[in-house]
Chains A and B, each alone.
Chain A
Amino acid sequence: MSGYFKEIITGLKSLAIGLQITNKEFFTKPITLQYPHESVKMTPRYRGHIELVKDPQTGTHRCIACGMCEKGCPTGCITVQAEKREGVKGKVLTAYILNFTTCSLCGQCVENCKPEAINFSNEYNLASTRREDYIFNLLQKLHPEGVPEPEIDPELLKKEREKKEAAKKEPAKKAAAKEGGESKAEEKS
């Protein structure tokens, strides 16, 4: 019988100790943030979706459209579209499409990028009910008011045009050379 009462007393004691601890919370200040009005500050290393980095010198991105990010991506969520333009060295980026629905934020693309053209953004307010909202064109995001045209290098343009003309003439030359060669061969035989 004494054991029974002892158990009740120790039980009540343990409950009282527990309540002592929890009652402290009545007097502590709540740490709740009223989310839409205030928001949590993200750390600089926070991994949001990737974004094109703006180069302060040129005012535009540094992407050379090599496609290494595309190749390294485990889920294939990046599509780089680029074209060759007259008078511009290398390829010109026309669209950088990220399908964020399949991105796993592993950072392989950022690591693979040699010119350091992409980085993680700090954006996390991305809630939406439409799937299409998660397919970003990062180039458009970087320049919402319109993508600036790449500068045309007049010397390069001149060289390229000369080359083209030379290429146009070349088939004719080659054909001529071929004919000439054949005729020579005929002569020999």
Chain B
Amino acid sequence: MSSLAQSQLRETFELNIGPQHPATHGVLRIKVVMDGEYIVRAEPILGYIHRMHEKMGENRTWNQFWPNMGRLDYLSAIAYNHCYACLVERAMGIEVPERAEYIRVITAELNRIQSHLLGFGAYIMDLGGFTPLMYAMDEREQILDLLESVTGSRLTYCYFRFGGVYNDIDDDFITGTRAFIKRFRPQIPMYHKLVTGNVILMDRLNGVGPISADLCRKYGATGPVLRGSGVNFDVRRNEPYGVYPELDFDIPVYHECDSMARYMVRMDEMVQSCRIIENALNKLPEGPVMAEKVPKALKPPKGDFHFAVEAARGTFSMRTVSDGTNTSYRMRLRSPTYSNVSLFEEASRGMLLSDALAFLGSLDPVIPEMDR
């Protein structure tokens, strides 16, 4: 035993979780001050994978910034593509053909399912269950194959373009997507039977990591974290973009505020994404997928532009100040995980260490997006 344990005073000790730890989903380091098994203070330390994406936006031309959009949140890259495309289209006043808008929504929702599937699998793995990850990966592989057949890449998509998408979807993709949804729908009740109903999972998640709606508002948490706290906020509904207003879907909201609620929001969102995709496939119009007369060398007019989308982890928004040249004067990326993890410090006070990791996993952080 160390001198610490032998001392008469009630002392605390420091513990480093990460930056290389499987439960932190990447290179997140958390400095924890512990009192026995209980957390006194937990401080997330960021910056281990900071790559200056915002600065890159300021010294690359508008077109050259595209590949960066696939490398922020590598799990839901298409939502980020969507945001950047819409931002510059808003600045330039480019009209996007309707078919392209539908393709954007279909691919973005497929990407969301894929992201939640991996989030689900990895979260259960954090808690010690390995099998569900294999099931999640099985389904995820189908989506990756589908997206690969259109976009050409499996993870770091660079598929959208200003004024449309890189290439059109074909019949194989449409039939493949329909087949996938048909196959995937019955899988979700199976997941609930296998995982959600499991007594070990229920004991570990129910009532763990309560976050009130006020705390979410204080730190700007969005996405499933906010909706698991009973706030019905989704950019797709509250500030609709693309063709979302024409599609039929619900926003799952849970009022329990605990880790289980956040987990359930993600599971229900997958079902809703299936609905959106089916709906969009039924309404898919014919026509071109690229707007005409989009200049190669873009020079948006002077001004301040902002756009927000609902990525898999919450609201992702971009703000750019254009000075009328071929590069941005200032590029600001607001990533959802950054805000979601910020509340970890306040919410984890007095928590058991093992509960804190279950709580961190329910925030579903992706570190490269947090550090940008």
Contacts and interface: CB of A to CB of B under 8 A. Distances in A.
A14 B193 CA distance: 8
Interface string A43-87: 101110000000000000000000000001110000000000000
Interface string A70-113: 00111000000000000000000000000000001111100110
A33 interface: no
B128 to A, nearest CB: 14
B152 interface: yes
A106 B197 contact: no
B158 A106 contact: yes
B66 A17 contact: no
Nearest to A31: B138
A119 B153 CA distance: 14
B256 to A, nearest CB: 19
A164 to B, nearest CB: 36
A107 B60 CA distance: 16
Contacts of A111: 161, 166
A135 B255 CA distance: 55
Interface residues of B, number: 30
A10 B198 CA distance: 9
B131 interface: yes
Contact of B66 (A15, A18, A46, A106): A106
Interface string B289-308: 00000001000000000000
B296 A46 contact: no
Contacts of A46: 148, 152
A105 B195 CA distance: 38
Contacts of A45: 148-152, 167
Given A15-B199, A22-B131, A105-B158, A74 B60 contact: yes
Contacts of B156: 104-105
A21 interface: yes
Interface range, A side: 20 to 34
Majority-rule SS of B interface residues? helix
B173 to A, nearest CB: 10
A18 B198 contact: yes
Interface in B238-289: none
Interface in B184-202: 190, 193-195, 197-200
Given A22-B131, A104-B156, A112-B296, A15 B198 contact: yes
Contact of B63 (A15, A18, A108, A120): A108
Interface string A1-42: 000000100110011011001100000000000000000000
Interface in B147-165: 148-153, 156, 158, 161
B167 A108 contact: no
A11 B199 contact: yes
Nearest to A120: B152
B149 A72 contact: no
Interface string B193-225: 111011110000000000000000000000000
Nearest to A76: B64
5 contacts: A14-B197, A72-B64, A74-B66, A106-B158, A107-B158
Interface of B: 60, 63-67, 70-71, 131, 145, 148-153, 156, 158, 161, 166-167, 190, 193-195, 197-200, 296
Interface of A: 7, 10-11, 14-15, 17-18, 21-22, 43, 45-47, 72-74, 104-108, 111-112, 120
Counting from the closest, the 9 A-B pairs by CB-CB distance are A47-B152, A11-B199, A74-B64, A106-B67, A104-B67, A43-B149, A106-B158, A45-B152, A14-B199
